[in-house]
Chain A
Amino acid sequence: MPESFQIREEQIGLVKVFRLKGFLDAHTAPAFEAALHAKVAAGSYRLVVDGSELTYISSAGLGVFMSFIEEVREKGGDIRIGGLISKVRQVFDILGFNEIFQIFATADDAVASFDAGSNLAVEGD
């Protein structure tokens, strides 16, 4: 049986929050990609991914983030990430995603960063 993966969506102000739970791997990545694609296609460009319940991420899972980041930024938006547990955060860092994405301690911080303006510094290591 493949590990379970769930996505919950929530709208906070102008920000669309995706709360991920479980395993984001090659098997489950297409579902997340479809969810992100639907929102981007519908014009949501301020996106936050809440990773506090994400227990595992693979390269394919990270690939989903790459699929939309350029388009979203061209539209003046961003994909920001918050609440990663350290094991998952480590994968982001090893693959250099901390150089591309703004990663916050919590999803709330990530949501708040959109209100505060779009040029917040990347959280330090």
Chain B
Amino acid sequence: MAENSTLDKLQLEDLLESVELLNTSVSVQEILQHLLRISQARARSTRGAAAVRTASGHLELLVVRGISDLKPGSRVTESAFRERRLETILPIGNGDNSAGVIALGAVAAQDFELNELPGLRILLGFGATAIANAMAHEESKRLNERMNQRLQELRALLDFGRGLSSTLDAEEVVQMLALTFAGRWAISRYAVHAWRDGQEHVFRARGFTFAQMEALAGRYKDLNEAVLLGAGAELEWLRGLEIPPGSMLIPLRSGERMIGLILCGLRLNKRRYKREDLEFGLTMASRAAGSLENAWFLKEALVAREIEKELELAASIQADLFPKVMPVEPGWEVAARNRQARQVGGDYFDGMRLTQGGARRILYLVADVAGKGMGSAILMSNIQATLRALLEHEPTLEAVAREANKLLHANTPANRYATAFLLLLDPETGAADFVNCGHNNPLLLRADGKVELLDSPGLALGMMPYATQEQALAEFRPGDLVAIYTDGVSEALNLQDEEFGLDRLAGVMKRLREESAETILEGIFQAIEYHVGDAPQHDDITLMVLKRKP
């Protein structure tokens, strides 16, 4: 063997073999193992360690031979090596910029520094390059892995977005959200609970219960970000709930409000949730929250549309109830009009020709049905049918009203009733029976200018089971004028909350009393409009004007 400092044959062979190995290895661990093995062999050392210098500059121990209290994977210093009598410390590469160190103890080789060290330094120089390459490779692998993860996140988001655009159902939104989380994180236990005032809750869970979600909602009333459960004092509480620590809780938020919570259990592949996962969770949740809001909004709109359709139907039923032409006899004029505040009103007027004992009679009727919409439209048609039927058989108007009261009370809910004024006129004589069933008293303007109110005892039809209605008699003389109206006329409010009132009504009637019934009717409507001004119409306005020609 050579005695000088040049490399001997064995060293050269070692070097060639090493360079070959080092050039092909992409594992830092493998390179260090090899460098330590060669170093120990050249130094005849039984104890040794190899550490790599990390990006932050400290040494991380990767390979240990013959030292029990040093753990691979831990941080280490050169003084820690010396404390364990690893006194020969060789940098891998150049001094301070070394890629790591080889530490050797109990060097038994004679003239190690003279005979072995020069060759070893050349080897370690190659080793430094190999480690740099391997680290670059590992870094690019790590970057690649991270990029793949980010790419998967983006794909999941895009896919979720596509899925959301294909549904308008809250249950489906929650299902897609849960499946995406389950797949993204390999979790088999999860729960999604979303809620909103006036809407059904949406709940979907595997492995968790509604009670657990309620408990979480009680503790996390206004969560702003995704959190990992089980930090600090929460641990015991969480164990009591049997929710594993390390589970993730994500809020569903719509603007300022929390509209739900998502609980994601532990990952089956033992991976932990990272910062990026919390962010991804929150991003997904906010997409889902938007879709949930849309789904709920649509549901409300559909309900509103149903109501709209019902109103349209009610309005068409109602329109058919009003007589197309009011019956009238020579010597009389009649005009009637109804103006509804809404699509479907509760007012009703009618006129019917009858014969009583061979004598011609005309029934005039104004009614105000409690409530609006479909219910009142049906009640109105009920009243019309009931009255028409009864008028054929009952001997008097009072009997008609009482029987109608009984029938309506028996066949409608308690909150359904109607005030009504019925007038049965003998056009020959001007005599009229009338029944006022809890209705506004019609205003009778006599030819001589006196004003009378047509009142008789009685409550609204259908309000009480027993009969309260009594009939009274009125006598209309030539030149007399009657206005039968609903409270929409007398109580029409202006912006100062003042009612139109009977004085104004009587005033218009007096002023226009020489005109036709139609003109008087029109004049009263105009006077109401003038009085009300810009105030909104709250109630239906129904008015019937009956005039006995002078």
Interface residues of A (CB under 8 A from B): 2, 25-27, 29-30, 33, 58-67, 69-70, 90-91, 94-97, 99-100
Contact = CB atoms under 8 A, between A and B. Distances in A.
B159 interface: yes
A58 B207 CA distance: 23
Contacts of B159: 25-26, 58-60
A91 B156 CA distance: 11
Which of B159, B172, B183 has the largest number of chain A CB atoms within 10 A?
Answer: B183
B149 A94 contact: yes
A100 B267 CA distance: 10
Contacts of B207: 70
A6 B431 CA distance: 84
A30 B162 contact: no
A103 B189 CA distance: 22
Top 8 A-B pairs, shortest CB-CB distance: A26-B163, A62-B183, A63-B182, A63-B179, A63-B183, A96-B269, A59-B183, A59-B156
B324 interface: no
Contacts of B145: 94
A33 to B, nearest CB: 7
B370 interface: no
A25 B164 CA distance: 11
Contacts of A95: 152, 183-186
B203 interface: no
Given A26-B159, A67-B206, A59 B268 contact: no
13 contacts: A26-B159, A29-B176, A59-B155, A59-B184, A60-B160, A60-B183, A63-B178, A63-B183, A64-B179, A66-B187, A69-B268, A96-B269, A99-B269
Given A2-B166, A58-B156, A62-B183, A30 B172 contact: yes
Given A26-B160, A26-B163, A94-B152, A60 B180 contact: yes
Contacts of B180: 26, 58-60, 63
A66 B155 contact: no
A70 B270 CA distance: 15
Contacts of B269: 96-97, 99-100
Interface in B173-216: 175-176, 178-189, 206-207
A69 B187 CA distance: 10
A60 to B, nearest CB: 4
Contacts of B175: 30, 33
B343 interface: no
A66 B268 contact: yes
B148 interface: yes
Nearest to B156: A59
Nearest to A98: B269
A30 B269 CA distance: 23
B271 interface: yes
Contacts, number: 104
Given A25-B163, A26-B176, A29-B176, 12 more contacts: A27-B163, A33-B179, A58-B155, A59-B156, A60-B180, A62-B182, A63-B179, A67-B206, A70-B189, A95-B186, A96-B186, A99-B270
Contact of A60 (B176, B186, B206, B268): B176
Interface in B78-135: none
B166 A58 contact: no
A26 B268 CA distance: 21
Interface in B264-320: 267-271
A92 B175 CA distance: 21
A100 B179 contact: no
A58 B183 contact: yes
Contacts of B166: 2, 27
A58 B180 CA distance: 8
Contacts of B156: 58-60
B273 to A, nearest CB: 13
B188 A69 contact: yes
Most central of A30, A60, A61, A65 by chain B CB within 10 Å: A60
A29 B119 CA distance: 63
Contacts of B185: 95
A70 B179 contact: no
A24 B183 CA distance: 12
A64 B176 CA distance: 10
A30 B167 CA distance: 12
Contacts of B189: 70
Contacts of B152: 59, 91, 94-95
B179 A30 contact: yes
B271 A60 contact: no
A59 B181 CA distance: 7
A99 B271 CA distance: 10
A20 to B, nearest CB: 14
Contacts of A90: 148
A27 B189 CA distance: 21
Contacts of A64: 179, 182-183
A66 B176 contact: no
Contacts of A91: 152
B63 to A, nearest CB: 25
